[in-house]
């Protein structure tokens, strides 16, 4: 098969790494890709948001299957454009991608179909938002959660600890200062006090195939402090996950969502990534993403046992029922440490030189996945993004995986970068 992978981050490198192992992958292209993905795929210099150019490339190169990594092109309608050309694509239509593209859409779907989630309301008017804020916090107290309705690269969520912070967040979002068009509508919701878990499943419009769990580390600082990021590390499986909790997630949240989307006339094909809050062992849906997580995808792909191309093609062709029992996971836990540019998630330097990535990749049980990287004119590895490398390791237990990951991190020479040194801390403090 000839396959086109769309995207340029750590998630896409992990997908490329898994796809390239399939004997069914004759040729893998990636648009636009990064320096790491170039080891597995031929890079194509097309912006991932250039839907006409991507579609033309897929047609002219007789691509058999397109796999879309990030949410932006899906929300913009890439899957629809490819379907019009009769090209198999793994990813939802623009209408179905609203599950991530509009937090209000997702919350309204939950309300209509009794999918457990936090109390909320949506606003595009400051006065009405203030009134609901007062009403909600009179019942629940602070903190309270303020979210931009649209896509904001994982950063459009403010957890306000007091009324002044909440009103400032409302003002910043609705004025367009904070997240531009993404904040033109906001969601105000009840703060849930529990522990976050990410759960992944595939859907083909009618059938749901459970995958596995992970736990992300969203805040920039150790001990989960500081501002939200796109994710500073993850491990899989999540420490809270057990058979009882997984059954609740599948039957109360994932399956009802697949049925609801079909009933709403926007049947969902692709990855359903449920961001969950576990409160007293009960799962509540915080948000949906319509693609694999980044950095959750990296440890998940290391645990995957099965042919990624078979799995994804079955999803694209409405044959996920064929894959029941054929997707298994290694019992060895895996852990990913994200190395980011100094200053991230704020302003950060670009085009800084990174040394030692190959040496890190040679550590036993470690794979270094690239995110914001490029090859410099002299062949040196350079940083071009905020999150730059995902150092990912497996081990007999999580402590061993963590030890290997940080052993590899310490071989990387990059004065302009940093990482958290506590990825997996919740699970490891539980183990000790």
Q: Determine how many CB atoms are found less than 10 A away from the CB of residue 370.
A: 27
Spatial contact of 36 and 17, defined as CB atoms under 8 Å apart: no
Q: What is the mean pLDDT of residues 241-269?
A: 97
pLDDT reported for residue 403: 98
Say whether pLDDT at 146 is over 50: yes
For 334-431, give the CATH class.
alpha beta
- pLDDT at residue 140 tops 80: yes
- Taking Cα atoms as reference points, which of 73, 72, 65, 56 lies closest to residue 316? 65
Please check the confidence at residue 150 and state whether its pLDDT lies above 60. yes
d(CA 130, CA 173): 13
Q: What pLDDT is attached to residue 373?
A: 97
Please report the pLDDT score of residue 432 as a whole number: 47
Encode pLDDT of 354-367 as tens digits. Answer: 999 999 999 999 99
Burial class (CB in 10 A: 0-12, 13-18, 19+), 344: buried
**Phi-psi label, residue 24: left if phi above 0, alpha if psi -120 to 50, beta otherwise:** alpha
Average pLDDT (335-346) is: 97
Q: Which residues are 282's β-sheet partners?
A: 279
- According to CATH, what is the number of the domain 2-94? 3.40.50.20
How many beta carbons lie within 10 A of that of residue 332, not counting itself?
Answer: 16
Give the confidence band of 127 by pLDDT, cuts at 50, 70, 90. Answer: very high
Among 381, 387, 395, 380, smallest CA distance to 418 is for 387
Per-residue confidence (pLDDT) for residue 154, from 0 to 100: 63
Q: pLDDT band at residue 292, thresholds of 50, 70 and 90?
A: very high
What is the predicted pLDDT for the residue at 180?
Answer: 77
Under 8 Å between Cβ of 402 and 332: no
Stretch 180-191: mean pLDDT: 86
Tell me: pLDDT of 273 over 90.
yes
Find the largest Cα–Cα distance for the chain: 61
Q: How much is the pLDDT for 143?
A: 95
Q: Which two tokens stand for residue 94?
A: 């623009």
CATH no. for 125-184: 3.30.1490.20
Q: In the prediction, which pLDDT does 156 show?
A: 81
Q: What is the mean pLDDT of residues 121-131?
A: 92
Distance CA(144)–CA(189), nearest Å, equals 6
Q: What are the tens digits of pLDDT across the range 194-213?
A: 999 999 999 999 999 999 99
Note the pTM of the prediction, 2 decimals.
0.93
Q: What class is the 195-329 domain?
A: alpha beta
> How far, in Å, CA of 72 to CA of 65, rounded?
19
Model pLDDT, residue 90? 96
Output the pLDDT for position 431: 58
Contact criterion met (CB below 8 Å) for 391 and 366: yes
State the chain's mean pLDDT as an integer.
94
Which residues lie closer than 8 Å to 45 by C-beta, 6 or more apart? 31, 32
Whole-number Cα distances in Å, 26 to 63, 68, 349: 11, 18, 38
Residue 79 pLDDT > 90 = yes
Residues 6+ positions from 234 with CB-CB distance below 8 Å: 198, 214, 215, 216, 217, 293, 295, 296, 298, 299, 335, 336, 423
CA 149, CA 172: separation in Å to the nearest integer? 13
For 303-333, the pLDDT digits (tens) are 999 999 999 999 999 999 999 888 999 999 9
Q: Where are the domains of the chain?
A: 2-94, 125-184, 195-329, 334-431
């Amino acid at each position: 098969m000839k396959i086109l992978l769309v995207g340029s981050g750590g998630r896409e490198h992990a997908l490329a790494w898994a796809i390239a192992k399939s004997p069914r992958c004759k040729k893998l292209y990636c648009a636009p890709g990064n320096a790491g993905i170039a080891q597995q795929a031929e890079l194509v210099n097309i912006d991932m948001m250039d839907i006409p150019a991507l579609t033309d490339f897929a047609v002219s190169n007789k691509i058999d299957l397109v796999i879309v990594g990030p949410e932006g092109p899906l929300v913009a309608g890439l899957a629809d454009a490819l379907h019009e050309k009769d090209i198999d694509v793994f990813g939802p239509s623009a209408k179905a991608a609203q599950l991530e593209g509009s937090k209000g859409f997702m919350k309204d779907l939950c309300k209509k179909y009794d999918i457990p989630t936090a109390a909320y309301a949506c606003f595009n008017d400051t006065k009405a938002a203030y009134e609901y804020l007062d009403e909600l916090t009179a019942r629940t107290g602070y903190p309270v959660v303020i979210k931009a309705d649209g896509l904001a690269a994982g950063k459009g969520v403010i957890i306000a600890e007091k009324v002044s912070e909440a009103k400032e967040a409302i003002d910043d979002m609705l004025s367009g200062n904070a997240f531009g068009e993404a904040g033109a509508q906001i969601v105000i919701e009840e703060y849930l006090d529990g522990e976050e878990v990410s759960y992944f499943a595939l859907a083909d419009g009618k059938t749901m195939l459970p995958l596995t769990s992970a736990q992300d580390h969203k805040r920039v600082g150790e001990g989960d402090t500081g501002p939200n990021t796109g994710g500073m590390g993850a491990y899989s499986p999540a420490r809270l996950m057990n058979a009882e909790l997984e059954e609740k997630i599948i039957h109360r949240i994932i399956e009802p969502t697949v049925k609801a989307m079909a009933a709403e006339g926007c049947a969902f094909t692709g990855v359903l990534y449920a961001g969950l809050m576990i409160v007293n062992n009960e799962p509540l849906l915080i948000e949906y993403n319509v693609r694999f997580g980044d950095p959750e995808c990296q440890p998940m792909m290391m645990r995957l046992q099965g042919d990624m191309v078979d799995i994804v093609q079955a999803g694209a062709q409405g044959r996920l029922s064929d894959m029941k029992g054929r997707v298994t996971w290694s019992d060895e836990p895996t852990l990913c440490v994200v190395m980011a540019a100094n200053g991230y998630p704020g302003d950060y330097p670009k085009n800084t030189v990174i040394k030692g990535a190959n040496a890190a990749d040679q550590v036993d049980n470690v794979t270094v996945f690239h995110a914001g990287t490029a090859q410099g004119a002299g062949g040196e590895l350079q940083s071009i993004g905020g999150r730059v490398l995902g150092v990912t390791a497996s081990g007999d237990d999580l402590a061993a995986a963590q030890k290997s990951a940080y052993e590899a991190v310490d071989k990387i020479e990059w004065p302009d970068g940093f990482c958290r040194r506590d990825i997996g801390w919740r699970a490891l403090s539980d183990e000790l």
